[in-house]
Structure 1
Amino acid sequence: MLRSETAAHPERLAAAMAGLAAYQQAPRPAPPPPMPALAISGRATLRYYGGRGRLVVFVPSLINPPAILDLGGTSLVRWMARQGFRVALVDWGAPTTADRDVDMTAHIEALLIPLIEQLDEPPVLVGYCLGGTMALAAACATPVAGLAMLAAPWQFAGYGTNAAAMIDMWSAASPTCEALGVMPMEVLQAGFWRLDPARTVAKYETFGRLDPDSDAARSFVRLEDWANAGEPLPLATARDLFERFIATDLPGTGGWSIRGAAVAPDRLGCPAMEFVSATDRIVPAATAAGLSDRRDLALGHVGMIVGGRARSMVWEPLAHWIAGLPPGTRRTEE
């Protein structure tokens, strides 16, 4: 990809390679210790960030680590914990080959919903990317106080012609995934690079010109480390994602069931809203759930969470919406 993008400009190739080398050699601080567990179900843990007031559970994607919601000085979950909410973040854990048959439905029925049902009150769910898809499905199957979806796909037919490229990628990778029992993150990352190869090359050209001790350089390394990391997907989850979601739009056509009942936006029994970006290349606006409370933006997929305008355009409206929900109720002991 780098060679093809810079074929006519050898100086750009050299600049991008220098930027890549600088990124690889950049110092990294020690990672912070994990937050304490509020609940555990299988390999999944609900990490508790403290705070007071209504309980809010953030559900990250299965793709890339949950750290995007707790990224250094742009930590959405830590900011929310200072706004009058008790905040927790789902950590999906590390799948192994023993998880090869754990599909998307099992992630919700055996991991996410049991985490939710251990809590002292039905929480507000805030799902990012594929985590929003899963949060909507969970909210149809267990009581929650509200649902907010951030850059989350539901109508997978909205990928349009881009779906063919993703399905081709899966077809090429699936024999290896079958042998491993998982889909390595590197397969998905290569697909993300190809969504906008010119931007992928340009960002490393730019990084190579930054002062390595600058805040901009440190922010770049922190974000790229997140983007280039991630646990593998269990084989059955990857198969669901590409063959049942992207290829046939199982959620958008009403064919997905959790705990034996169909899940869909019109089956939600709680207040719900979504943030949708017109400039999101990873989750196009056409894939949104179509909730009646829809906030349209012009921020990128990652920029919606950690960009310079994220606080004013997403964080603060989200906190205001949660604060306006009806009072919650404690669970009764059985």
Structure 2
Amino acid sequence: MLRHMAAAGHDAHLVDWGPPMPHDARLGLDGHVTERLLPLLAALPRPPILVGYCLGGSLALGAATMGAFPAVATIAAPWRFDAFPAADLDLIGSLWNGARAMSERIGYVPMEVLQSGFWAMDPARTIGKYAAFADMEAGSDAERAFLAVEDWANGGAPLTFAAGRDLFDHFYAGNVSGRGQWRIDARTVDPTALDCPTLSIVSTSDRIVPAAAGPRLREERSLSLGHVGMVVGGRARETLWEPLSHWLFSHGG
């Protein structure tokens, strides 16, 4: 998607949070905004349009609360956690309770903890996709595409322990963002109060972040692709990349 944006003429930058260091264990989601994202953005020649995918969209809204940016777009961003199915919230809470002590001891939340939750939300789909992979011809384009997507989806860096605690205890269990209680440096993060164009892109078939859980922004566009497929799937270019590119151009991006 970033290659497409750059080829279309956007000055596109991708944030790589990097793996957390031992001294980062107490860096919560608010700290990711104030100590990582905002200093990085301040180093750019001019304030950029912020585009955030999944939790990155939630963090982008936090950053937009702390500074002036031309526009903000979120893609499959979780915000109203009371819109998640109750069974999913119970499942995620159970997984976190089992992983909390170990995560606190090592100072981070391994990607495997997050992935186990995603898999458990829809085990039939997880089994089905690997069954389909077994039937793919070795060395085929389909096999290479499957492996590329799986490597991308499973290769993320772990969360700091404090960020994981914020995510599971305060967001999933407490719905602090949806209830308007997430604060960064004493400022309440309220997406409806942002004084810039805002766009929320959601998907009606997203199993990881339901469409109803997205933030209420000035504009909303709805797709019918999965959480990962909407960004890297075969229809991503026509359904997400190109419309998003047009929206960015319309706001000076």
CA distance 1:322–1:95, shift in 2 (3 Å): same
For 1:253 and 1:202, how far apart are their aligned partners in 2? Answer: 36
Q: Which letter does structure 2 place at the counterpart of 1:210?
A: M
Task: Kindly provide the CA deviation profile for residues 125-169 of structure 1, in whole angstroms up to 9, marking residues without a partner as x.
Answer: 110000000001101111111111111111111113011110111
Q: For 1:78 and 1:293, how far apart are their aligned partners in 2?
A: 25
**Counterpart check, 1:207 vs 2:133:** yes
Q: Which runs of 5+ in 2 are unaligned?
A: none
1:145 to 2:70 alignment: yes
Bigger relative CO (Cα 8 Å, ≥ 6 apart): 2
Q: Report whether the alignment pairs 1:247 with 2:173.
A: yes
In structure 2, the partner of 1:94 is: 19
Match of 1:68 in 2: none
Structure with bigger gyration radius = 1
Distance in 2 between the 1:199 and 1:266 partners? 35
Deviation of 1:204 after TM superposition, in Å, equals: 1.6
Distance in 1 (alpha carbons) for counterparts of 2:21 and 2:83: 31
Cα offset, 1:298, TM superposition: 0.8
> 2:217 aligns to what?
291
CA contact (8 A) 1:276 1:285 kept: yes
Q: Which SS does the other structure have where 2:34 is aligned?
A: helix
Query: CA offset at residue 267 of structure 1?
Result: 2.0
**Shift in Å, 1:259:** 3.1
- Which runs of 5 or more residues in structure 1 are unaligned? 1-75, 329-334
Q: Provide the rounded CA distance (Å) in 1 between the counterparts of 2:64 and 2:154.
A: 30
Compute the TM-score of the two structures, normalised by the length of structure 2: 0.96
Q: Which stretches of structure 1, 4 residues or longer, exceed 2 Å deviation after superposition?
A: none
Q: What one-letter code is carried by the residue in structure 1 that aligns with 2:64? A: A
Rounded to whole Å, the distance in 2 between the matches of 1:228 and 1:120 is 33
Tell me, yes or no, if the aligned pair for 1:100 and 1:236 is still in contact at 8 Å. yes
Q: Given residue 226 of structure 1, which amino acid in structure 2 is its aligned partner? A: W
CA RMSD, aligned part only?
A: 1.2
Q: Pick closer, same or farther for the CA change 1:197–1:160 going to 2, 3 Å.
A: closer
| 1:111 equivalenced with 2:71 (yes/no) | no
SS at match of 1:86: coil
SS of corresponding position for 1:148: strand
In 2, Cα distance between equivalents of 1:118 and 1:188: 31
SS state at 2:132 partner: helix
Which structure shows the bigger proportion of residues in helix conformation? 2
Output aligned runs, 1:1-334, within 5 Å.
Answer: 76-161=1-86, 162-325=88-251, 327=252
Matches of 2:199 and 2:210, distance apart in 1: 17
Secondary structure of 1:140 counterpart:
helix
CA distance in 2, matches of 1:306, 1:316: 13
Q: So what's the TM-score if we normalise by structure 1?
A: 0.73
SS at match of 2:206: coil
Read off the aligned partner of 2:139 and give its amino acid letter. D
